[in-house]
Amino acid sequence: MKKWNKPAAAMLAIGLTGALIAGCGGSGTTGNEGGSSSQEEAQKSKEPLAIKMMIPYWNAEPPKQDGETLKKVQAHTNTKLDIIWTPGSAYTDKMNASIASQDLPQILYVLANGNKNSGLVNAVRSGMFWEIGPYLKDYPNLSKLNEQMLKDSSFDGKLYGIYKYIPQARNGIVIRQDWLDNLGLQQPKTLDELIKVMKAFATGDPDKNGKQDTLAFGAAGANGFELFVSWFGGPNQFELKNGKLTPDFMTQEYMEALKLYKTFYNENVMNKDFAVNKNDFDMINKGKSGMLFAALEEVESRYIDLYKAFPQAKLDVISRIEGPKGVRVITRGAFPPQFMFPKTSVKTEAQLKQILGYMDKLADPDMQNLFTWGFEGSTYKLDNGKPVRTDVQKFNSEVASYEFMRFDDSSAAMKGNNSPILEKALQMQIDNYPTAIQNPVQALISQTNIDKGSELAKIISDAKTKFIMGEIDEAGWNKAVEQWRKTGGDQIIKEYEEAYANINKK
């Protein structure tokens, strides 16, 4: 298995994650498969390869079709790119309509959890997309994609897309180190120590203002809950034993986490409005809470307002907490976003190889430098041979806006001078991934979950909120779980177990 590398700091400084996609093959073929000796075809092979693709964007405006970043990508890959930029909020609907009409581009970006989209799953199973797994070994960059991530992004055990890199063991604790220092406390290493610190943050006047007006953490929903389940020894969404699956919320460890969060709620360790609050970061940035369970690589980019309001604030990161079953770290557990290749527009194997060639070349070091740093003299400068960002706003608007074209992890980009805390966070993500607990159903498909998953998930999420707030007891919780099972949950488990058996049968 390939190891993760550190994403470059520039992406992280604006809260973006790198992507591990891969570009063009080393052969450079853009014409007929196998080539030709004729002058006409030799000339044709030098002409830019026209590629149409559909990509999401989340800014107010789509990236410029004539931007310098896009021009450099086209020059490096010898392509002419026609990009259908689609608002992220409308992307799934647009994609589903395109699949239904079979009017698809040659490269289709698929958002995370695509294996829960009925239209996409049916299209894959009907043969509408190329299976690309057998081809990756022929490309220098694509052949280096992470084996576990390839497995976790497959449909029915086969690979149809190139996943976009997002750190997998990315979450942990961002904590006010200055609050720990004020209270004379050490960083917690065990679950019991963490709970002690959390209660001290709520009652011990960690900001030294003479008032008991702080919280341990501000939550939008039950922020961090899945981490506590794992620290108690529970699974990452599902537990797999001898081919049998159990949802995390049917385990004793989940119940322990529920009871702990009820204590947090009752003792004002967390905010009382967690069920309706929409912003995880608001309270820590306003100096009202001392920790957040969040993506570690965002330790600088998402806390700018905290430092503006409290220049003396000092943050640190923690990723490993030891519980009853030892130290446990979990992955994101979500089916990755990826780039797929429809047969309706990529009609021959030769065309597929050309487009995979583009993808491979897109992950070359020059391209990773472009997406990570931009343009020397414009968005960065070199200081003792290392890049330093010079114009963040220009980088965001003229380079980072094209982020969703890429898939690489920035590991081949130039290494800048990261701050010590960012280096620590990035290294934690690298070190934690090989032993992180996977979600065993991440790449499995359940038709019932596709059809009724959102409805059934609401049964559990509503019951979780009510339990934490004291509106139902353990009997009420068990009743909700039974409702989930009877209205489709047991069928989901059955279908996941069958899918697992089919993929892993000898």
Q: How many CB atoms lie within 10 A of CB 128?
A: 17
Q: Higher pLDDT residue, 424 or 20? A: 424
Tens-place pLDDT, residues 248-257? 999 999 999 9
- The mean pLDDT value for 50-79 works out to 96
State yes or no: pLDDT of 44 exceeds 60: no
Planar angle of CA 19, 439, 319, nearest 5 degrees: 70
3-state helix, strand, coil split of the chain in percent (to 5) is 45, 15, 40
Contacts by 303-306, CB closer than 8 A, 24 or more apart: 303/174
How far apart are the C-alpha atoms of 22 and 383, rounded to whole Å?
A: 29
Select from 43, 41, 19, 45 the least CA-distant residue to 353: 45
How far apart are the C-alpha atoms of 373 and 395, rounded to whole Å?
A: 8
DSSP string, 421-449: HHHHHHHHHHHHGGGPBP-TTTT---HHH
- The mean pLDDT value for 228-246 works out to 97
Distance of CA 242 to the CA centre of its chain: 29
Class for the domain spanning 9-167+335-414: alpha beta
How far apart are the C-alpha atoms of 51 and 353, rounded to whole Å?
A: 13
Please give the mean pLDDT across all residues of the chain: 91
How far apart are the C-alpha atoms of 421 and 426, rounded to whole Å?
A: 9
DSSP string, 400-427: GGGGGG----STTSPP----HHHHHHHH
Select from 95, 113, 115 the least CA-distant residue to 105: 95
Q: How distant, in Å, are the alpha carbons of 8, 9, 11, 153 from that of 411?
A: 7, 11, 12, 20
Q: How many CB atoms lie within 10 A of CB 177?
A: 15
Q: Are 199 and 216 in contact (CB under 8 A)?
A: yes
Tens-place pLDDT, residues 293-320? 999 989 988 898 999 999 999 999 999 9
* pLDDT value for 2: 45
pTM for this prediction: 0.85
Residue 222 zone, left/alpha/beta (φ > 0; ψ -120 to 50; rest): beta
Q: Are 481 and 437 in contact (CB under 8 A)?
A: no
- The mean pLDDT value for 115-126 works out to 96
How far apart are the C-alpha atoms of 285 and 172, rounded to whole Å?
A: 17
Residue given tokens 């693709």 in the structure block: 53
Tens-place pLDDT, residues 361-405? 999 999 999 999 999 999 999 999 999 989 988 998 999 999 999
Percent of the chain past pLDDT 70, that is, above it, reads 91
How far apart are the C-alpha atoms of 409 and 422, rounded to whole Å?
A: 16
Phi, then psi, of 441 in degrees rounded to 5: -105, 10
State yes or no: pLDDT of 13 exceeds 90: no
* pLDDT value for 20: 32
Using CA of residue 334, residue 340, residue 342, residue 345, what is the dihedral sign?
A: positive
State yes or no: pLDDT of 471 exceeds 50: yes
Which DSSP category does 504 fall into? H
Tens-place pLDDT, residues 407-466? 999 999 999 987 889 889 999 999 999 999 999 999 999 999 999 999 999 999 999 999
Indicate the burial class of 34 (C-beta count within 10 angstroms; 0-12, 13-18, 19 or more).
exposed
Tens-place pLDDT, residues 214-233? 999 999 999 999 999 999 99
* 3-class secondary-structure state, position 296: helix
* pLDDT value for 39: 53
- The mean pLDDT value for 118-128 works out to 97
Percent of the chain past pLDDT 90, that is, above it, reads 86
Helices and strands counted in the chain (H then E): 19, 15
How far apart are the C-alpha atoms of 85 and 63, rounded to whole Å?
A: 8
Q: Does the domain at residues 171-328 carry the CATH identifier 3.40.50.300?
A: no
Select from 58, 492, 457 the least CA-distant residue to 221: 457
Indicate the burial class of 464 (C-beta count within 10 angstroms; 0-12, 13-18, 19 or more).
buried
